[in-house]
Structure 1
């Protein structure tokens, strides 16, 4: 047997470590050997390694037993990060836009990147942990002018917004797992997430387009993954699981935890045990079910609340895996709360796993789904756990849990999404003759993204060794205009800014209040066939003409007066070019 064909998978759980060795056989995963061992003491808490030496010790023992049973040398291992370590965060990003601008794909991608940054910053502020791998995100809603819309592309408006549901994995979780297996003499060849591993074997590909909640119920936590349209849209965790059920038994019967655990797991009709006072008891399975029923109901309620919180409604089906999914009446309680038919809540064990070739007895219940899933995921993916890419000559590592994109790389280096927005010049906003007027700044040159020298965008998929280059855009010139240029546009002759007259060289400033008038201080009229220039006033009445012509009036007679052929009076207002006739 060629060691290169060997797949060694480890499920490093909070209480138990399971190791599986197998090979691919006609599209199925053929199990060659299985070993499992409990931690000697609390070395793991909620899926995170707390004592590297203790975890490494258990891993090394399992590795050695598998090597001895198969007479091989194991050097590489496939692992998974616990779903309970994942952080899921809602985030919303909003942006004001020019009402004449047609929304582009780049605008939408930049908006999503900004929302992803907001989500990551929220997680950091809540947890205090500063470094995270981006696992993925899904768009919940787009908005145009505050109204929901299916697709922003091509629309125009004042404001666009997006709401996303993003998931992150702390660096420390991955680094702790790596350190523990390395100390045991192993290198990680593949890493995935426990919920993804479980889905790969528990949910057949033909039904992954459905809205399904997968719940991995372990000892300390119940981990949740929700799938929709072929993707996992959310991860969550309930800090309530099998241990709470065990503790209710221990409290009721006054036993230690291990005895209570045996009572919980017993399938016998009649169960015998001794309490801490060494008093012997004999109870039936029905009595145990009656005692734990309230806690099972609480567990079901907490799981359902979390599913609805992130899914927005009841899913089409719920699949249960993990050792505590066998709790009596748990599927019935979940079905009742979610208003689902009982056959839509299913406990998945290895009998339902069609891709498995296994004749042994160690792997049997729903607790075996995740370790099998880790091995099978490695078998079908055969890709690196991390990829290395460079951004502007800076090398970074990206968690290869999905098909990573340029956006994932930028989030990994905390790239400021504002640098990808086209920087137009500042607009000039003024009030002209009582009306608001906006003079547009010059359009900027958009930034460009290249992957290996080819033009790309935020959604371009990247591979190991890719080189990402970002060419910064150029900001457009700010809007500027002089009083003279404004006068030409408005065909005026006098300009007043903030109630003061200015000359043509004055540079208009943001917020200026401007009034443009015709220059009435000097203009020419025709009086009885001769041109006469009127000077010294902003407005002239007919009577003012007599101050500029040599004409004697008879005090006892009103002259006949006409303007442009029409009879006029002394108080008529004159305009440039008027033709005036006066007869005495």
Structure 2
């Protein structure tokens, strides 16, 4: 199969690295062609802290995916997360010189580009500029200003900011693993694409993605992203607590959490005991499941409460900003028993577990429809959409060529420009800037 027919998403997580190859079938669903998963050794709390180990893990995952599918991976879409990610709200405006002409894409782009000039803290860079509502000559709550008349165009923006060095390190790892960087996406946005329906985004929903090293939050209302946050705790701190509290090794703690862990201590009876083999001839350890779930409960409550503070910061208590669809939990950590009930108890909001199967073709492997792969599936969807956009732009250019029949040199240049433009999102341009930086850093 030629390269043009499939796309690749690469999820660089704290506990695992997943490479997932897929393509869009004729029904608009994603068909998974291959998947590779490796243990992530060089990432801590969503941030690369060992380049060499991360490169090895990426290569391992990519090789497995290639072996599974019989395809060659060259370009990938990568997710970015980590405790350095923060977001802010910002308003900006432009005054148009020709108010008698309708607002077009260039005006919106000019306004978005202006936001990029915001002064950030040293070492920080703007990753996403997401317009929320527009105002034209004081008329508010406009979702799409294109085609309208007006002299003053203003908008509220959701601006996502990250540490330049962390983002460049991810780019470096991709390049050194022998891959091209197709695009970079914020992980909570990728997970949201994979598990949320359009109705939920309209009604108002908070997506909580509990990963190994971080818990990512994305809040949507009226179909628009309203708030994002990354909390630097995830499943690993729960494992760490079990390890310390029960004096056992990490591998055993992880197994205990997965097999017997529960976020609700009341579920376990006092006489339910699990025996763990001792180290090197020592006596086996006996741990009551009630104690185990108390340890887990304490940490999970802390994580959920931090997320709830972020939901309140967004303004969930206000009637206009109420999240009617409640909370969707996804990520590996969402598989913890009774977590849904605990989240409902703490927040008082409707909760469900989000599975990334809505956009997958019917014959997909059940394993991939697990919350564990939500981010990877979201990144793959992003890669597929990017490819579709490029195809559409090419198609337009070809059609223009056909309409013109015989071409003058000028027409040809115009078509070429149209093809080049492909109406890149601002974030795609930012990715290109990063790619150039990496090329020059050789």
Q: Same fold (TM over 0.5)?
A: yes
* Pair 1:280-2:281 in alignment: no
Residue of structure 1 equivalent to 2:29:
28
The TM-score with structure 1 as length reference comes to 0.54
Mark the CA change 1:170 to 1:138 in structure 2 (over 3 Å): closer, same or farther: farther
Mark the CA change 1:205 to 1:138 in structure 2 (over 3 Å): closer, same or farther: closer
User: Any conservation in 2 of the 1:213–1:224 contact (CA below 8 Å)?
Assistant: yes
C-alpha displacement of 1:17: 0.4
Mark the CA change 1:332 to 1:19 in structure 2 (over 3 Å): closer, same or farther: same
Alpha-carbon RMSD: 4.2
Mark the CA change 1:4 to 1:138 in structure 2 (over 3 Å): closer, same or farther: closer
Mark the CA change 1:141 to 1:347 in structure 2 (over 3 Å): closer, same or farther: farther
User: Any conservation in 2 of the 1:335–1:345 contact (CA below 8 Å)?
Assistant: yes
* Pair 1:334-2:334 in alignment: no
Higher mean C-alpha deviation, range 25-34 or range 78-87 = 78-87
Residue of structure 2 equivalent to 1:99:
none
* Pair 1:324-2:321 in alignment: no
Unmatched 5+ stretches in structure 1: 95-104, 155-160, 385-399, 414-584
The TM-score with structure 2 as length reference comes to 0.70
Tell me the secondary structure at the aligned position of residue 202 of structure 2: coil
User: Any conservation in 1 of the 2:131–2:155 contact (CA below 8 Å)?
Assistant: no
Unmatched 5+ stretches in structure 2: 94-102, 143-148, 262-271, 391-421, 434-442
Cα separation, 2, equivalents of 1:401 and 1:322: 32
C-alpha displacement of 1:207: 3.0
C-alpha displacement of 1:275: 5.6
C-alpha displacement of 1:89: 2.1
Cα separation, 2, equivalents of 1:305 and 1:286: 28
Cα separation, 2, equivalents of 1:290 and 1:296: 10
C-alpha displacement of 1:93: 7.8
C-alpha displacement of 1:163: 7.2
C-alpha displacement of 1:215: 0.9
**Higher CA-based Rg:** 1
The 5 A counterparts of 1:206-355 are 206-267=199-260, 271-274=274-277, 278-283=282-287, 285-313=289-317, 315-316=323-324, 317-340=326-349, 344-350=350-356, 352-355=357-360
C-alpha displacement of 1:360: 3.3
Where is the helix percentage greater, Structure 1 or Structure 2? 2
Tell me the secondary structure at the aligned position of residue 159 of structure 2: strand
Mark the CA change 1:69 to 1:162 in structure 2 (over 3 Å): closer, same or farther: closer
Mark the CA change 1:187 to 1:267 in structure 2 (over 3 Å): closer, same or farther: same
Match of 2:129 among 121, 125, 135: 135
Cα separation, 2, equivalents of 1:253 and 1:191: 40
Cα separation, 1, equivalents of 2:381 and 2:114: 34
User: Any conservation in 2 of the 1:135–1:401 contact (CA below 8 Å)?
Assistant: no
Count of aligned pairs: 368
C-alpha displacement of 1:173: 3.8
Tell me the secondary structure at the aligned position of residue 208 of structure 1: helix
Residue of structure 2 equivalent to 1:379:
384
User: Any conservation in 1 of the 2:273–2:287 contact (CA below 8 Å)?
Assistant: yes
Cα separation, 2, equivalents of 1:378 and 1:114: 24
Residue of structure 1 equivalent to 2:393:
none
Mark the CA change 1:165 to 1:364 in structure 2 (over 3 Å): closer, same or farther: closer
